[in-house]
Chain A
Amino acid sequence: MPALLLPLLAGAADIEAGRRKAEVCVACHGPAGNATLPGVPSLAAQPAMYVFFQLIQFREKRRNDAQMSPFAANLNDRDMQDIAAYFSAQQPTAPPFVADPAKAAAGKIVLDAHHCGSCHLPGLTGQNHIPRLAGQHYDYLLKQLLGFKNGSRPDIDGTMSMAAQPLTEQDIEHLAHYIAGLK
């Protein structure tokens, strides 16, 4: 991309400002966004646009969570973009999860059959507004996928709700085993 055009792109977010603004976030989401608390998602290496858009969804009450919503309520777009840029720039650490090999192998088959890599990319690293899944926490993955299936977890354009409909609870368990064990 020609350097001339850089200023046209969405305002250059400030990673260092993001680090300071994210000090409150890492209490739950872990150092550099590598979470260890059960049910809390890791944010390290998430696409910046994904983190930014989810913060917007929480602030606008289109996604609700008792812990998360109050934090998002007080952030402006600039804060969100800085925080997103900070987490996006962090290295993910090796996930602590130990997958059941048989369940993980079954999960890989479900993953391929349901084309998860079409949007999340083949390595499940995410892109733009679509999250990185590789190494995400097992509990969190389980809760989100069940939420998409039963309609309690809203998504932006309906793609995930639709994708989750044909998954059985066993499919979801297997998927979570495979994904959570990815490095």
Chain B
Amino acid sequence: MSVQMTTVFCTMSRFAASALFAFAALTAHAQQQAAQPEAAPAPPPSWAQGRPPELAGSKLAPNPPGLTAKPASEIHLDKIKLPPGFQISLWAEGMPNARSLAIGKKGTVFVGTRLVGNVYAVVDRNGKREVKTILKGLHRPNGIVFKNGALYVAELSRILRYDNIEDNLDNPPQPVVVFDALPKDEPHGWKYMTLGPDGWLYFNIGAPCNICVPPYTHAQIARVNPDSGVIETVVRGVRNSVGMAFHPTTKQLWFTNHGRDWAGDDLPNDTLHRVSKKGMNFGYPFCHQGDFLDPELGKGRTCKEFDQPALKLGPHVAPLGMRFYTGKMFPAEYKNRIILANHGSWNRTKKTGYNLMQVTLDASGKVKKYEVFAEGWLQGEEYWGRPVDVQVMPDGAMLVSDDVTGALYRITYKR
């Protein structure tokens, strides 16, 4: 099914807008009734949507997905550059498409995936890591949260809970369905999920396109109360966020966001955002990076209508996971710094990203500095790996997931 919206086409699955909000579902239903699917021109694949006619011959296309676990001989950690005193080592391997990270109370590291349906658990036994595939056959289980002994998994359109998971890694229980009425669009449909200090689960519902006027249900960060199943919109105007974390002292939500494609090599920037109140709107699809009106949809609008990002991260860098550094191992100045993973670009003639960046904030929460923390996944125009998520370990080391190598790395500091 395709739904025509204002001036561009949005790609939606036939199950789109299934039931997040009754209003939106009714609207989608009305559109289905009105449209003659055979007569409507088909939308291009979502990655090519919004490409201007003069770029029709562009060779740029999304990087192929990581579906394999590479052998250690193809994991080139010797190429990674870190600040003085830091080291990186291969901590666990053999997990195709390893993406989002969460840590259990007993130290189990959980790893979500986007494209292979698996969730992994890594257990450290006397300095040796044992990797278990604890869940299989899920649909885009990219979002994972550990809470009260349970593992919550956000699939494309539903959230599941596996109780008492750390005691049942070899035989996980049947899941309890926490919420099952999220949209089923595949483009930007996979979730990043984090636990709020209020006990709610926070996650993205991405725009189902590169650039379009999204349905009311999309391009937002939402939250679900896992006990009552109540769902709320937190902020709007977010194209797609696949990384978020709460500040350890202010308790405010921060998140990364991917800007639109096909508007040039250097515009717009991907962005980092701070949520200072519920109901903020960060501008998509009308205004990008806080000050760049969309060449088409921005007509007649102004960026002053919208809330500003906390930081421009660079064009096409594809920021994913982020954490505030709350450990004791790194030097004192790292306390509460954001470390974020840039998965790396495709829609740019020269590749960029493929690194870990660090963001220093001042006491009021304003960004003071944005600088490289780790780089070397990209060599020339070729990458051997792509960082996805980061996670502070109980001992203060930092884990990094990589969905091209299917491995986890551990970054440590020794004076």
Q: Which residues of A contact B (CB under 8 A)?
A: 1-2, 5, 8-11, 49, 52-53, 56, 60, 62, 77, 113-115, 118-119, 127-129, 156-159, 161-163, 165-166, 168
Residue in contact with B382 in the complex, picked from A5, A52, A53, A163, CB distance below 8 Å: A5
Are B45's CB and A118's CB within 8 A?
A: yes
Check B45 against A8 for contact (C-beta < 8 Å): no
Cβ of B65 within 8 Å of any chain A Cβ, yes or no, is yes
Can you spell out 15 A-B residue pairs with CB atoms less than 8 angstroms apart?
A1-B382, A10-B74, A11-B71, A52-B68, A53-B64, A56-B67, A60-B116, A77-B69, A115-B43, A118-B44, A119-B48, A158-B187, A159-B46, A163-B42, A166-B40
- On whether the beta carbons of A9 and B384 are closer than 8 Å, the reply is yes
**Inter-chain contact A1/B381, CB cutoff 8 Å:** yes
Q: How far is the CA of A127 from the CA of B44 in the complex (A)?
A: 17
Q: In the complex the two chains form, what is the Cα distance from A52 to B66 in whole Å?
A: 12
CB atoms of B1 and A166 under 8 A apart: yes
Q: List residues of chain A with CB within 8 A of the CB of B74.
A: 8, 10-11
Inter-chain residue pair count (beta carbon < 8 A): 84
A129 and B41 CA atoms in complex are apart in Å by: 26
A56 to B48, CA, bound (A): 27
Which of B44, B187, B382, B384 is within 8 Å of A115, CB to CB? B44
The reply to whether A115 and B73 contact each other, CB–CB distance below 8 Å, is no
Closest partner residue, chain B, to A167 (CB atom): B42
Residues of A within 8 A of B104 (CB): none
Question: What residues of A have a CB within 8 angstroms of the CB of B37 in the complex?
Answer: 166
Q: Please tell me if the beta carbons of B73 and A129 are within 8 angstroms of each other in the complex.
A: no
**Contacts beyond the supplied A53-B64, A127-B61: 7 A-B pairs with Cβ under 8 Å:** A5-B380, A8-B76, A8-B79, A115-B48, A128-B61, A165-B13, A165-B14
Alpha-carbon distance A162/B3, docked complex (angstroms): 13
Over the window 370-403 of chain B, the binary record of Cβ atoms lying under 8 Å from chain A Cβ atoms (1 yes, 0 no) is 0000000001111010000000000000000000
Contact at B61–A53, with CB atoms within 8 Å?
no
Q: In the docked arrangement, what's the CA distance between A2 and B380, Å?
A: 8
Number of interface residues of B (CB under 8 A): 39
Give Cα A113–Cα B40 distance, bound, in whole angstroms.
10
In the complex, which residue of chain A has the Cβ closest to the Cβ of B38? A168
8 A Cβ contacts from B15-72 to A: 37-38, 40-46, 48, 61, 64-65, 67-71
Query: Which single residue of chain B is at the shortest CB-CB distance from A128?
Result: B64
* Nearest residue, chain A, Cβ from B117: A62
| CB-nearest residue of chain A to B14 | A165
A115 to B43, CA, bound (A): 8
- Interface of chain B, main secondary structure: loop
B115 at the interface (CB under 8 A from A): yes
In contact, B115 and A156 (Cβ under 8 angstroms)? yes
- Is B1 touching A56 in the complex (CB atoms < 8 A)? no
Task: List B residues at the A interface (Cβ < 8 Å).
Answer: 1-2, 11, 13-14, 37-38, 40-46, 48, 61, 64-65, 67-71, 73-74, 76, 79, 96, 115-117, 186-187, 189, 379-382, 384
Whether the Cβ atoms of A159 and B380 lie closer than 8 Å is no
Docked-complex contact A10 and B116, CB < 8 angstroms: no
Contact A162-B382, Cβ < 8 Å, known A10-B74, A156-B115, A168-B38: no
Knowing A1-B380, A118-B48 touch, does A113 contact B42 (C-beta < 8 A)? yes
Chain B hits for A5, CB < 8 A:
379-380, 382
* Chain B positions within 8 Å of A56 at CB level: 67-68, 96
**B1 proximity list for chain A (CB < 8 A):** 165-166
Contact among B44, B65, B379, B384 with A157 in the assembled complex (CB-CB below 8 Å): B65
- CA–CA, A173 and B40, complex, Å: 19
Cβ contact within 8 Å between A161 and B186? yes
Residue in B64, B69, B116, B379 whose Cβ sees the most chain A Cβ within 10 Å: B64
- Chain B residues contacting A127 (CB-CB under 8 Å) are 61
Partner of B186, one of A60, A114, A157: A157
A53–B13 CB distance below 8 A = no
Which of A77, A114, A115, A168 contacts B68 (CB under 8 A)? A77
Residues of B within 8 A of A9 (CB): 382, 384
Query: Are B65 and A129 in contact, CB atoms less than 8 angstroms apart?
Result: yes
Q: Is the CB of A114 within 8 A of B42?
A: yes
Known contacts A156-B115, A166-B2, A10 near B42 by CB under 8 Å = no
Closest to B184 in A: A158
**Contacting pair A53 B67 (CB below 8 A):** yes
Nearest chain B CB to A87's CB is how many angstroms away?
Answer: 17
- Give, as a whole number of angstroms, the nearest-CB distance from B97 to chain A: 10
CB distance from B94 to the nearest CB of A (A): 11
Tell me if A162 and B186 are in contact (CB < 8 A).
Answer: yes
Contact A162 to B11, CB < 8 A, known contacts A1-B380, A113-B42, A128-B64: yes
CA distance A60 to B61 in the complex (A): 26
Q: In the complex where A8-B379, A115-B48 touch, is A129 in contact with B186 (Cβ < 8 A)?
A: no
Listed residue (B2, B79, B115) with the most chain A CB atoms within 10 angstroms of its CB: B115
A114 to B48, CA, bound (A): 12
Return the chain B residue nearest A81 by Cβ: B68
Chain A, Cβ-Cβ closest to B11: A162
Bound-state Cα–Cα, A163 to B42, Å: 8
Query: Which 8 pairs across A and B sit closest by C-beta, in order of nearness?
Result: A158-B186, A115-B44, A128-B64, A114-B42, A118-B48, A129-B64, A8-B384, A166-B42
